[in-house]
Chains A and B, each alone.
Chain A
Amino acid sequence: MPGLIQSVQRAAAILRLLATRSRPLGVAELANALGLPKTTVHGILRTLQHVGFVEQDPHSGRYRLGAALLHLGGSYLDGNELRTRALNWADALAARSGESVRIGTLHEGRVLVVHHVFRPDDSLQALDVGTLLPAHCTALGKVLLAYEPDPAGQLPTPLDAPAPAAITSPAALKRELAAVRRRGWALDAEESAPGILAVAAPIRDRRGITVGAIGVSGTVERLRAGGTLRADLVPHVRDAADSISRDLGFPDG
């Protein structure tokens, strides 16, 4: 049919194929299945990867559908819904850690605070739901970036430094995000503000996609008295993140 763009048709075919297979596929497999040259398929995959529609498995090099694609079609989790579903666990985290709790989602390269629980000391605190925080230097932001297909592409250049400890080199940030993925949690060691520490972990949904991050933050004196991070902090944060993920249907939560 005239007027149709061949490369878009081919991209659609690749996506359909990835959607029907339960395991990631390699370039050669895709090329064979579609009867196309490997170089053509590779070029299309790179473009699809760039826009977040496919992801490449770092170990096997194979491709699967990406987070951005799954966010299309209304399956993306509304921030108000995330807050409602997480309410009980965010409260429990604040009570156990004795610190304030925030839940964030990624919004145009920054962290949108969708939920905030006060530090349980009944002091004067203001609700900061709706605030946007930088992503590269906050614990919430690092968690969210770590599970994004193209983190660097979303961030402002150059990376700014709201505090001296902030990571400003893209290469160092890449290493840091890899470490976050390995550990399953992120630390903000006075990177977003001097004197403030934060720990965060990913909230995942049924498909295993990271739909938000939950974390605690507090002063260095309280969280790192004696030079080491309070030992119960990471387990508390991960426990809350896992409980919310389980409620959202994440199988290993």
Chain B
Amino acid sequence: MTQYIAAIDQGTTSSRCMIFDPSGSIISIAQQEHRQIYPKPGWVEHDATEIWTNVQQVVHDALRQKDITADQIAAIGITNQRETTLLWDRTTGEPLHNAIVWQDTRTDQLCRELGAGIGQERFRERCGLPLATYFAGPKIAWLLREHPELRARAERGDVLFGTMESWIIYKLTGGTHVTDVTNASRTMLMNINTLRWDDDILAAMDIPRAMLPEIKGSAQTYGTATGELAGVPVASALGDQQAALFGQTCFAEGEAKCTYGTGSFLLLNTGTTPVQSANGLLTTVGYQIGDQAPVYALEGAIAITGSLVQWFRDNLGLITTAPEIETLARTVDDNGGCYIVPAFSGLFAPHWRSDARGVITGLTSYITKGHLARAVLEATAWQTREVVDAMNNDSGVDLTTLKVDGGMTADNLLMQFLSDVLDVPVVRPMVAETTCLGAAYAAGLAVGYWPDIESLRANWHKAAEWHPQMEAATRDREYHNWRKAVERTLNWVEHDSR
């Protein structure tokens, strides 16, 4: 009987389960969206119980689609939206609140306080990250402050913290409380050199160590699944962006990929040493196979890309499905002088400005919805350009091709424009769902389904390629205009008067 590997991708907007065969091809896919809960401006939450129900459902659906049984699954891997923070009760296994999503900015004030006069960079040397609302540590600190009754129980280890992979593994295995190095590297609480929880940061943020999960490698068996997958080893966990790096087989130092989903994330493999960025990038763990040395990455995080398309669809109602943005954008030849900078919750890499808010600039009576659609797609490309520039500066080597993946790579107009503004070829691999593929690869390696990373590399094939066609003068003019538009977003939120 053919054996397969299953992967669960617990994402920001949906949960997916995919089943892969030995060649790394997709056999079946099931997907289910969950509710985005917006209690106040700037707040974004998920119901962790709903997510767990959906995860079980998509696993069931993916198996049933091709009549696959649990004994045909050699291992299951987990990948997840990163930083989204949950506390649950050890005794009941029930969440104590809605999960606080990475996009949530409620910790803005707290992050400034934690800067303690030193500012955003206070913990960067230890954890590789600037103080920003994005990361899990400040979210935990906020929850414990807001719910003082939880603190004593957290100190006894009766209240547990986890990001979403931790939650899924806990539920899947019936009580194993672990995280992996890649997810732990997004909390601000893990020392980037020792890969252990950092007592000084824990003290500074007033977070009890007893509530934290045990930090494990990204490809190793954490436990055995219960329920529908009973008996299957749970054998990998990676944050979604690190999983995509793995799925793109960026195993060598200097290899990079950018994943285009809700947000977009460019990761560059920097080998076994953490590189500190001087240009607003994040230092993060790429992956750790078994107990081998960890591999580090530099990351450029862009908060709003696919979600700008969703905003265009849901809040402006100018299209009914995301792919229609391309159809609408193709009704005009250019952006008509219009630029959209989606600093919805501030600007992420390379700016890290929480005081920024979004703008639409260059509006004239000439602008139509077609121009706006172009500006939406172009915003994704220009934000990538800024991150690539930062990456080139940090690494001292210029990117020569960009490997891309994720849902937005279905957009040909965007992919062409991306190649135009970066002035390098853009390449999409045969599996656009590299997030799931990466989790599957890591789980497969852990249980010996695939012998080594070389065998995974052999599965990588080019599915599409776009070459630059834009005149240099046009590119320069447009980049200049984009930067002017970015300038207009800054200093919008005046602190203490939100």
Contacts and interface: CB of A to CB of B under 8 A. Distances in A.
Nearest to B460: A122
B407 interface: yes
Contacts of A81: 321, 323-324
Given A80-B323, A80-B411, A95-B25, A88 B462 contact: no
Interface in A116-164: 116-118, 120-122, 125, 127, 129
A32 interface: no
A125 B461 CA distance: 12
Contacts of A69: none
Interface residues of B, number: 27
B331 interface: no
Interface string B314-342: 00000001111011000000000000000
Interface string A74-95: 0000111101110111011011
A207 interface: no
A192 B152 CA distance: 75
B462 A122 contact: yes
A219 B433 CA distance: 29
Contact of A83 (B25, B323, B431, B466): B323
Interface string A93-123: 0111000000000000000000011101110
B405 to A, nearest CB: 10
B464 A84 contact: no
A91 B324 contact: no
Contacts of A80: 323-324, 326-327, 410-412
Nearest to B407: A84
Contact of A91 (B322, B326, B407, B430): B430
A118 B327 contact: no
Most A CB within 10 A of own CB, among B29, B327, B462: B462
Nearest to A130: B412
Contacts of B432: 87-88, 91
B463 A91 contact: yes
Nearest to A79: B327
B466 A127 contact: yes
Given A80-B324, A84-B323, A118 B26 contact: no
Interface string B22-56: 01111101000000000000000000000000000
Nearest to A117: B463
B376 to A, nearest CB: 14
B411 A88 contact: no
Interface in B146-160: none
A49 to B, nearest CB: 30
A122 B461 contact: yes
A87 B326 CA distance: 15
B324 A118 contact: no
A83 B29 CA distance: 17
B410 A129 contact: no
Interface residues of A, number: 24
Nearest to B325: A80
Given A84-B407, A118-B465, A122-B461, A78 B327 contact: yes
B463 A78 contact: no
A157 B239 CA distance: 58
A78 B462 CA distance: 25
Contacts of A116: 464
Nearest to B415: A127
Contacts, number: 75
Contacts of B326: 80
Q: Which of the listed residues B26, B409, B432, B463 has the most CB atoms from chain A within 10 Å of its own CB? A: B463
Nearest to B416: A127
B323 A88 contact: no
Contact of B410 (A84, A95, A120, A121): A84
Contacts of B27: 92
A87 B410 contact: yes
A118 B25 contact: no
Contacts of B29: 88
Given A81-B323, A83-B323, A92 B463 contact: no
A92 B326 CA distance: 24
A129 B411 CA distance: 11
A79 B324 CA distance: 9
A80 B328 CA distance: 10
Nearest to B320: A74
A26 to B, nearest CB: 37
B248 to A, nearest CB: 14
A121 B430 CA distance: 11
A78 B320 CA distance: 11
Residue of B23, B324, B464 with most partner-chain A CB within 10 A: B464
Contacts of A96: 23, 25
Contacts of B430: 91, 94-95, 117, 120
Contacts of A121: 461
B322 A127 contact: no
B461 A127 contact: no
A118 B462 contact: yes
Nearest to A129: B412
Nearest to B429: A91
Contacts of B26: 88-89, 91-92
Contacts of A95: 23-25, 430-431, 461
A85 B462 CA distance: 19
A96 to B, nearest CB: 6
A222 B433 CA distance: 28
Given A91-B26, A92-B25, A95-B430, A83 B465 contact: no
Nearest to B413: A80
Nearest to A101: B463
B440 to A, nearest CB: 14
A103 to B, nearest CB: 11
Nearest to B436: A88
A81 B462 CA distance: 22
B410 A118 contact: no
Q: Which of A78, A79, A83, A116 has the most CB of B within 10 A?
A: A78
16 contacts: A78-B321, A78-B323, A78-B327, A79-B327, A80-B327, A80-B411, A81-B321, A84-B323, A87-B410, A91-B430, A92-B27, A94-B461, A95-B461, A117-B430, A117-B463, A127-B466
Given A94-B430, A95-B430, A117-B430, 12 more contacts: A80-B326, A80-B327, A80-B411, A80-B412, A83-B410, A84-B407, A84-B411, A88-B26, A88-B29, A91-B25, A91-B463, A92-B27
Across the A-B interface, give the 3 residue pairs with the lowest CB-CB distance, nearest first.
Answer: A120-B461, A84-B410, A81-B323
